Amino acid sequence: MRVQPAAFLRTTLPVDLSGLRELDGGRYHSVWLPDHMVSFWPDSIWTPEFTDLATAAPSPHRHLDGLAVAAAAAVLTERVPLVSAVVDTVRRHPALLAQTAVTIDHLARGRFILGLGSGESENIVPYGFDFSRSVSRFEEALTVIRLLWDSDGPVDFDGRFYSLRHARLDAEPYADRPPQIWVGASGPRMLEIAGRYADGWWPAGAWTPEQYAEMLAALRASAERAGRDPLAITPCFIQVCLIGADEAALAEILRAPLVKAFVLQVSAETLRGFGFTHPMGEDWRGFQDIDPAALTRDRIVDFLGNVRPEMVLAVVPHGTPKEVANTVKTYVDAGLRVPKILDYGAMAGLEYAKASAANVIAAEDELIRLCADVS
């Protein structure tokens, strides 16, 4: 398949679907819709003291139901596939996920893709959901979804987490083809599961093209063991980056507290691999440990004081749009085919947020040029 970028559709307030016509024009492989209860940014620094973004939005957590927004997008578009990126299998029962995906796919006339993951604590633990054995729960949820899609008539199922008794989903898939399932997976077990079930894949974090290639190889090996075509799985990636017009702009972006806070999403183990000690301690697990409400101002101020620009630059592509495109191309060489270039420089403040969209488009244009002969 050719290399083609993906787009994001915001699922936060204020809701804005006015750009869907442009996203539906053929430039993008697919449109990805996040599904969160909260964001990664700590409440303690979402204040005018730290960022002028707080003057425009009272909270960084104004999330809407991503699947509901996908249903609206389905009836407002005609061509582009729509992907939930990603829905966890903890907050929603797999039977409900199976029915919702079929519903949206009918509204989209076969263009909906169900993106699934095992979950993140900040969206689950505060709401009282059981987050134990999340990978096993995820695998069983996939089994239930496929069972309901593939069975004619009522089905029974006895699992560790879910039980079905004469359960049925008689709403047939659109054009007799169930929606594709894309899986967010990075660890060995999740990659093995994704190889057996997924039609598309993206990792939660691949900090080098070599790491991306290793994960993709593990995924494809699992698919082969399952008797599936490994090359039929679409390799994707949300490529977080920092785009600036020049070195001075990039230096200014790196001083922004919310940009520094990206290091919270990186594990101590990963940062150690780049030669740095994580400011949150040697046991910090990255995004899995983020609780935006619990990270106090004092702790975050101390953390920010110990974040060095080199830490951020080590884990994300950075530079001008052309420089970022050249870095993303190294991931394409490692097997990536559907990149979403996500400019974290927008978190530097309102001025940079305004410039971010144009920077991303410029990086996409350059990447498309660089990948014209890649298939």
Domains of the chain plus CATH, in order, are 6-245+316-371 (3.20.20.30)
Query: Residues 80-120: pLDDT tens digits?
Result: 999 999 999 999 999 999 999 999 999 999 999 999 999 98
Reduce the DSSP state of residue 200 to 3 states and report it. strand
What band does 10 get if pLDDT is binned at 50, 70 and 90?
very high
Q: Which amino acid is at 67?
A: L
Neighbouring C-beta atoms of residue 55, cutoff 10 Å: 11
Residue 115 β-bridge partners: 182
Q: Is the pLDDT score of 289 beyond 90? A: no
Long-range CB pairs of 169-173, under 8 A, 24+ apart, other chains included = 169/95, 169/98, 169/99, 169/102, 171/99, 171/102, 171/103, 171/106, 173/102, 173/105, 173/149
Q: Is the pLDDT score of 284 beyond 90? A: yes
The reported pLDDT for the residue numbered 222 is 98
Q: Is the pLDDT score of 367 beyond 90? A: yes
List CB contacts of 96: < 8 A, sequence separation 6 or more: none
What band does 294 get if pLDDT is binned at 50, 70 and 90?
confident
Q: Is the pLDDT score of 243 beyond 90? A: yes
Beta strands 155-158; 163-167: pairing state = antiparallel
Between these two residues, 215 and 293, which has the higher pLDDT value?
215
Residue 181 β-bridge partners: 114
Q: What percent of the chain has pLDDT over 70?
A: 100
Q: Is the pLDDT score of 7 beyond 90? A: yes
Beta strands 155-158; 180-184: pairing state = unpaired
CB 41 within 8 A of CB 293: no
Least confident of 121-130, 226-235, 297-306, 345-354: 121-130
The span from the CA of 343 to the CA of 357, in Å, is 8
The reported pLDDT for the residue numbered 195 is 98
- The whole-number average pLDDT for the span 351-373 is 96
The reported pLDDT for the residue numbered 244 is 94
The span from the CA of 303 to the CA of 313, in Å, is 17
- The whole-number average pLDDT for the span 213-230 is 98
Query: Residues 175-197: pLDDT tens digits?
Result: 999 999 999 999 999 999 999 99
Neighbour-count burial of 270, counting CB atoms closer than 10 A to its CB (0-12 exposed, 13-18 middle, 19+ buried) = buried
Report the interhelical angle of 321-333 vs 209-225 (nearest 10°). Answer: 30
Query: Residues 28-52: pLDDT tens digits?
Result: 999 999 999 999 999 999 999 999 9
Longest pairwise C-alpha distance within the chain: 64
The reported pLDDT for the residue numbered 204 is 85
Q: What percent of the chain has pLDDT over 90?
A: 95
What band does 334 get if pLDDT is binned at 50, 70 and 90?
very high
The dihedral formed by the CA atoms of 344, 349, 352 and 357, expressed in degrees to the nearest 10: 60
- The whole-number average pLDDT for the span 243-254 is 94
The span from the CA of 246 to the CA of 185, in Å, is 34
pTM for the predicted model, two decimal places? 0.96
The span from the CA of 8 to the CA of 23, in Å, is 9
The reported pLDDT for the residue numbered 293 is 87
